[in-house]
Structure 1
Amino acid sequence: MKFLLRTLVFCILLGVLAGGAFYVWFTRPLELPAATVEFRVAQGSGLRAVARVLDQAGVPVQPDLLVLAARLLGKEGAIRAGTYGIERGITPEQLLDTLVQGKVLQLELRLVEGWTFRQWRAQMARQPGLELLAGQLSEAELMARLGLAGQAAEGMFFPDTYLVDKYSSDLELLARAAKAMQKHLEREWAARDPGLPYRNAYEALIMASIVEKETGVEADRPLVAGVFVNRLRQGMRLQTDPTVIYGLGERFDGNLRKVDLQTDTPHNTYTRVGLPPTPIAMPSLASLRAALHPARTNALYFVARGDGSSHFSASLDEHNQAVNRYQRRGR
């Protein structure tokens, strides 16, 4: 009887000591080889695999204890793949929380409305911490990789500020932006005003890109769209400078000349009737809504006032007077 009691007491003491040692390990800061250690967790990795990655990075994590802690705390859920960063002072307890909650390192990247796809690609190429895959592909190859084979890239990506995992690829970012644009376009097209002169949602997207480039004033967007819709209905040329500039591409030097307006390209709306074949920029949601809900106006012309807003006119005579007032004064 005394032997059994002593054995029981010994086991209890051993358990207390083991529990104490485990608690000390669990709450004591890990010894990191640097102030910050970054490591990458592959898709489908478990805690043992993560421990091996950390060991290779010089972080002394005991896999068996880490797995035991996760089981005891009910935190054996899937670990999110991605890049993690841990700093000196972190404990195994905090490390476990970081892994289970998926607190991966992220980048913030703003894809600007009104920019062209070429400008977006250049911006992504300058972003530190983003894996560059899109830059190695032609536009046709890139769109095929995104499941949009045969589609022009321009206008097909939604401008927004995106949070992406550090060291993820630019293709992943573009896939998200393409999905977002498709979602917005489908929703807005379904709620469009009746009787618009667009054959499909893509033509509305083209119009939205023109509206985006023609004004930076929120209140003017529906009016600008209304002017262009009126011109389409009457068979007039849109005669919008941004389409000419887009058609010139890298040849545009910042100075739009009369000869440029007269030089025919597929996007030149001075030489061709109707919408250009593709969008000319990445339109914002505000411009998309303006294209699908244009203002009811009799205006056929507009001219910039010089403060970002525009003056709208129903007749050519009124328009010419506005041009003299706002653009030729002081010359």
Structure 2
Amino acid sequence: MSNRPTVKDVAREAGVSVTTVDRALNGRAVVREDTLRRIADAAHRIGYHARGLFDHRLNTVAPEKKFGFVLVKEKHEFYQNFAREIEHAVAARTDVRGHAVIRFAQSQSPEEFAELIQSVGERVDALACAAVNHQKLNQVVEGLRQKGVPTFSLLNDFAQGVRRNYLGINNMKVGRSAAWMLTRSAKLPGRLAIFVGGNRWHGHDLREVGFRGYVRENASEFTVVDTLVNLEARQVTYEATLDLIERYPDLRGIYVAGGGMEGAIAAMREATEPGQVQLVVNELTAESRAGLLDGYVTMVIGTPLPQLCSDLIGLMISESAGHLDDTASQHFLEPRIVLPEML
């Protein structure tokens, strides 16, 4: 009886950890099919008493799925967090053996996005992208749809009517929320400014519409200056913010509707006192957190990445299994509002 093979023996024979054998034996987590097969073969070779359970796991193994993702700004903290949450959400699923294929666009070029969407889309079962809105992308997404590969738009909606779902926060409401905060926190009426990344970011357009609509309807004592395009670049935003502060002594608030907030925060630190000009930005990072704590940022509107990624993987699995209806839709998430006193 003492010579009876144990889990440790199976692990040694298969060249894996005892933890992996335990997972394969008890089904507490997904084990790759090739690893499971290697464990089963090892169990048979050494005569492990529960080898039949490994065979059963092989017969009921979850289907393998590849999920593709196209993101931007590979070195930016928010998108690094986004990629990490995608990996976590895929690994957490036990109903599929999921693999995440994540690629980053290096520019805002529609041509680059189209090329990435095409190349990644040809290798996966479903695709999700944070990309610009452009006709070139519509054509690629339609081609993938005809091949049975659904595309989901993330954060910024594109390929409307062609993509499967949009997942993100409601950008119109985000813009209105930013305007609400700026007009409530400003000590006196005056001018407000808004930065957008560019006219290809549909989400930024919606934020601007919501922002201006709220001011026009509810805070007419404030004037919104002409929209500034910052290309989501830190240096452009920095220089433009300094210019705003110099040109408009009655500047009361700024909303950075897309990227580049780091430049606005740096300019505020250089040219204003805390609270002199209110600033609303998107996404909680090390720099926006520091701005909140130091009084240069009034509010951060964040995307709930764990929930977004979990919901996204669930929808991608359901779509690839044919469980969703044919209606393209929007999947809105509640934004995470962060104020200084919440840190």
State the TM-score, normalized to the length of structure 1.
0.30
Question: Which of the pair has more CA radius of gyration?
Answer: 1
**TM-score normalised by structure 2 residue count:** 0.29
